[in-house]
Structure 1
Amino acid sequence: MGCDGGTIPKRHELVKGPKKVEKVDKNAEIAARWKYCALSQEKLQRPIVACELGRLYNKDAVLEYLLDKSAERPNTEVAAHIRGLKDVKELNLTDNPAWEGERRNTKGDTYEDIHCAMFICPVVGLEMNGKHKFCYLQTCGCVFSERALREVKTEICHKCGDPFQDEDLVILNGTKEEVEKLKEKMEERRAKAKAGKKSKKSKVSELNCKPLDSRASSDLKDASQNGECSADSAPGPSGACSSSKNGKPTTTTGSKRSIQDMKEKSEAYKSIFTTHSSAKRTKDQTSNWITHTPYHF
């Protein structure tokens, strides 16, 4: 049972057993969620936005996805719930003073701390590296750690001072259960917004289809009873009568009035217009219209 060179194989080398389940490196998984865009898998760079489910994106990647959804991109199912820029919120992050980025390890001869994060909590100072829970406010976009909101209970943002409620809190990169709760809230919020839009449209259509006001109808009734409008006369578009009882036409606000009938105007003023008697000519005074052609024969 020997091989060349007198070596004896062992049992695990000859008999193949079940394959071992590959374990995902937790540090690599945390870094992928907190340091890289969930859509483009590139490093997070300002401006950074977050969706209603708490995932982090580069704003440029979201804009490219919204402009051309037909393009073949990986991880498009992650952003399937994003319909427009209204569904994401730009985050107001606090820089970590201890973060040096890639400038420190340019040569590759120094120790690189994996747990060092680009951003921190402005209240407690915890690093946003995945070890601690962080959340953002949908009203202003400020990011805090859950410990800061739990220890310092307030209804005003610690950073900008805007008021908020518990419903405005969204956990960043939460667990599956937390993501499912956020998804239910998102669907409820969108359903309420859709119902509100439908109610507004129905109100506008009702206002457009309403008849004349009760005041206008009552005024018309009073005018007919007082004798202002006769039975033969029909109200015009402005609601006034076109003729009186005596049969004489009454001038309305919208009717045209001849300038020559105006007594307050002088004769010199009336003579300017073509309706004046001086402007009218008899048949003898008028001449035939003569046209001259440029052609000479």
Structure 2
Amino acid sequence: MGCDGGTIPKRHELVKGPKKVEQVDKNASLIARWNYCAISQTLLRKPIVACDLGRLYNKDALIEYLLDKSADKCIIETAKHIKSLKDVKELNLTDNPVWKGDKANAKGDKFEDFHQAAFICPVVGLEMNGRQKFCYLRVCGCVFSERAMKEIKTQICHKCGEPFKEDDVIVLNGSKEEMADLQRRMEERKLAAKLIKKTKKSKATESASKAGLAKEISGPSSQKHEEKANTIDKTKSTLSSTSAAENGQLSSSSTSTSSGKVCKRSYTEIRGKSEAYKSIFTSHSSAKRSKEQKPNWITHTAYYY
């Protein structure tokens, strides 16, 4: 059986078999994930941020995405979990001294090595091109290779000296299993943060309610206590003033007697006093003696003067 021209068709042209699954080029996927932003699909430029799932973004592109609140906004699946800049961490990357950038092959007449990366591990020196696993710390944002973290096991950052935990280590552009683990850890952290906020709010409301009840209960009694305290203070002030006046009078009388001068009080001052009080003074009739009672002679001693 032939066609119009005498050609003989082959079996694969007549019988359609199952389609082959298209395989993604590994080199192309590595270049796309490690050299380009996950939102804008532009080359990664500093400042670079990473989310809790290990994806890389340009900070300015992420800010533009978060600020766009229009109804026709295209929601990108890679950044769907990011609600604010608190959900990402700015990376502290180490520049590759060999990297020349786009200027090395500006004319297009040289071989361009796509496996050469702009950043390296500061401990081991491996290039961050996707061939080796890299991770960053949520505490400080420093980036290291997984080999460096395994060879030098420590709980302190190799670059800045910030302490960290195992939960703070996040793999960059990991596999599906690693992404699922990071997703679970991210959800657990968010739930823990919500519980902490609820407990803080409940404690604040309880303290405020207790303070209000204490004020309502102790309202009239506290006013009474304040009034009593005011009356006590007033009585104390009056007593202190009277005692000061009496002390001043006593001091003046003592000074006058010590100087040898006898101060006599007028009749108007003693008029309203009792007889017992009047008998103290020499002007009273009881203090006056007759001539018969007076002695004929007086012996002068040292106490007389």
Report if TM-score (shorter chain) is over 0.5.
yes
The aligned residue for residue 57 of structure 1 is: 57
Does structure 1 residue 159 correspond to structure 2 residue 154? no
Q: Report the CA distance between 1:149 and its aligned residue.
A: 0.9
- Distance change in 2, residues 1:2/1:192 (3 Å): closer
> 1:151-204 CA distances to partner (integer Å, 9 max, x unpaired)?
111221111111111111011011111111111111111111111111111111
Instruction: Report if aligned partners of 1:133, 1:171 keep a CA contact under 8 Å in 2.
Output: yes
Q: Kindly provide the amino acid, as one letter, of the partner of residue 38 in structure 2.
A: A
Distance 1:205 1:181, change over 3 A: same
Inter-partner Cα distance in structure 2 for 1:187 and 1:42: 29
Does residue 216 of structure 2 align to residue 240 of structure 1? no
Shift of 1:69: 4.2
Q: Secondary structure at the match of 1:240?
A: helix
- For residues 161 and 68 of structure 1, the distance between their equivalents in structure 2, rounded to whole angstroms, comes to 37
Alpha-carbon RMSD: 2.8
- For residues 166 and 83 of structure 1, the distance between their equivalents in structure 2, rounded to whole angstroms, comes to 25
Structure of larger gyration radius: 2
Where 2:214 maps in the other structure, the secondary structure is: coil
Query: CA offsets, 1:200-227, max 9 Å, x none?
Result: 11111111111338xx96xx59xxxxxx
Letter in 1 for 2:161: G
Alignment correspondent of 1:212 = 214
In the TM superposition, what is the alpha-carbon distance from 1:3 to its structure 2 partner?
5.8
Q: What is the one-letter code of the residue matched to 2:155?
A: E
- Identity, % of aligned pairs? 64
Deviations 1:227-265 (A, max 9, x none): xxxxxxxx36x8425997xxxxx89xxxxxxxxxxxxxx
State how far apart, in whole Å, the 2-side matches of 1:65 and 1:125 are.
34
How many angstroms apart in 2 are the aligned matches of 1:131 and 1:64?
Answer: 31
- Aligned runs of 1:273-288 on 2, under 5 Å? none
- In the alignment, what sits opposite 1:26? 26
Q: Structure 1 residues 158 and 107, CA, compared in 2 at 3 Å: closer, same or farther?
A: same
Deviation at 1:7, TM superposition (A): 4.6
Matches within 5 A, 1:1-20: 7-20=7-20
- Alignment correspondent of 1:261: none
1:117 equivalent in structure 2: 117
The equivalent residue for 1:272 is none
AA matched with 2:149: L
Q: Which amino acid aligns with 1:63?
A: I
Task: Using the TM superposition, give the Cα deviation of residue 15 of structure 1 relative to its aligned residue in structure 2, in angstroms.
Answer: 3.9
What's the CA shift for 1:19?
2.8
Match of 1:139 in 2: 139
Q: 1:184 to 1:121 in 2, by over 3 A?
A: same
- The number of aligned residues is 229
Task: Tell me the equivalent position of 1:87.
Answer: 87
Give a deviation string over 1:104-141, Cα, whole Å, max 9, x none.
Answer: 12222211112111110000000101111100001100
Runs of 4+ in 1 over 2 A off after TM superposition: 1-21, 69-75, 238-244
Q: Which amino acid aligns with 1:26?
A: K
Cα distance between partner residues in 1 of 2:71 and 2:90: 24
Query: What TM-score do the two structures reach when normalised by structure 2?
Result: 0.68
Q: C-alpha separation between the residues in 2 aligned to 1:119 and 1:71? A: 38
Label 1:24 to 1:76 Cα distance change in 2 as closer, same or farther (>3 A): same
Does structure 2 retain, via aligned residues, the 8 Å contact 1:117–1:129?
A: yes
**Any unmatched runs of 5+ in structure 2?**
236-305
Question: Using a 3 Å threshold, how does the CA distance of structure 1 residues 72 and 93 change in structure 2: closer, same or farther?
Answer: farther
Question: 1:72 offset after TM fit, Å?
Answer: 4.7
1:200 is matched with which residue? 200
Give the deviation of 1:71 after TM superposition: 5.8
Equivalent position SS for 1:50: strand
2:191 — aligned with what?
Answer: 191
Which residue of structure 2 aligns with residue 103 of structure 1? 103
1:282 matched residue in structure 2:
none
Q: Is the 8 A contact 1:40 1:75 kept in 2?
A: no
Q: Distance in 2 between matches of 1:110 and 1:88?
A: 37
Instruction: Supply the AA of the counterpart residue of 2:65.
Output: Y
Aligned to 1:277: none
Cα distance between partner residues in 2 of 1:200 and 1:71: 35
